[in-house]
Amino acid sequence: MKKSRNTLAKTKISDLLTQSKNALSHSEIHEFLDGFCDRVTIYRVLDRLIEEDFIHKIVTIDGLVKYAACHDCSTVKHHHNHIHFNCEQCSTVTCIEDVEPLFKLPERYKVNNVNFTVSGICPNCI
C-alpha cells in the first residue's frame, strides 16, 4: 500500500466520507463539494483512497457504486467483510460493522474480498 501526497481535494473528500453516516456515490460527493473540484479529480482521489485502504467500495442492489470510510480498520487488521444495508425506500447504504457474515466455500477457493449487501427498509423509513 503506497501512501500518496495529501491534496486539498483528497483531504476534503476523505473528511466528507469519514463524517458521513452513509456510503456516498460519486455524484453525491460531487454535489456535496459544490464545484470545489471536477468529476475526474474526484474519481482519482477515490481510487487513491481505496488503494491506501482508507475507504472501501460498495455496489448497491441497483448496481450503483458507493464509497464509505473505513471506521473499524487499523494498519494491523483491515477488513470490509461486514454487511452493507441498502434501504429500498431512501436508497441509503449503511455499513453494519458489528455484524460479520459467515459463509463456507468449497475447498480450493481463496477469498480476497467479500461484498454483502442486504436490502430492506432502514429505521429512518419505517
CA dist 23 and 46 (Å) reads: 13
CA dist 28 and 31 (Å) reads: 5
Helix axes 8-19, 39-51, angle to 10 degrees: 70
Q: Is 125 annotated as a binding residue?
A: yes
Q: Is 122 annotated as a binding residue?
A: yes
Q: Is 87 annotated as a binding residue?
A: yes
CA dist 71 and 53 (Å) reads: 11
State whether residue 69 is helix, strand or coil.
strand
Residues 6 or more apart whose Cβ sits within 8 Å of residue 4: 10, 48, 51, 52
Annotated binding-site members for Fe cation: 79
Annotated binding-site members for Zn(2+): 87, 90, 122, 125
Annotated binding-site members: 79, 87, 90, 122, 125
